[in-house]
Structure 1
Amino acid sequence: MLTEETKGPTGQEQTNESNNVFEIHNDPVMQSALDALSVIGKYKEIKIRARGNSIPNAVAVANILTDNMLKGNSKIAKITVDSEPIQEMGRTQSNIEIIIQKF
């Protein structure tokens, strides 16, 4: 799980656990992609994480980064899809982590 969270400049939460982790929420996809591009520029690798209804946005951001912004200079190293139980509701919530490497 994520430890301490701080708000980024446009609402994305980045954790203090690792600076290359980028949480996707329901913000505009292109704005999230631009913010993620600045992170991957610093660290050469980014972990894009999303939960629930934000998963399609995370996939779109990963595609924008690898196919448009960093075409030929990056690859998707790993995709992890998982779910976790929500205690209050007795349901599960899906989550995804996409690791993109820049070379």
Structure 2
Amino acid sequence: MSVLVAFSVTPLGVGEGVGEIVADAIRVVRDSGLPNKTDSMFTTIEGDSWEEVMAVVQRAVEAVAARAPRVSTVIKADVRPGVTDAMTQKVAAVERYLVKAEQQP
């Protein structure tokens, strides 16, 4: 089973510069060993079970909460039995469609 979770963790009440605190959350994700990708809005992680992925999200939130009086978290999940490597396969499928469309007159 593939469990993809895209999430953001925002420290509140610490001023405008939050990058150093957010880095603590990303460190937790990277240390988890799960496939992950971070962009300017979200971090996406993939695991084999809901429990595995959400445990990492919880630890990331806790890392931010250790340095901020309040934490805002946004979570989006895609749970799909029978699929592996969804994080890269979903993007690859879209890329194939884009190439196919470019080749048509």
Greater Cα radius of gyration, structure 1 or 2: 2
Whose helix fraction is larger, Structure 1's or Structure 2's? 2
Please tell me the TM-score bracket, short chain as reference: 0.3 to 0.5
TM-score, with structure 1 as normaliser: 0.35
Could you say which structure has the greater relative contact order, defined with CA pairs below 8 angstroms and 6 or more residues apart? 2
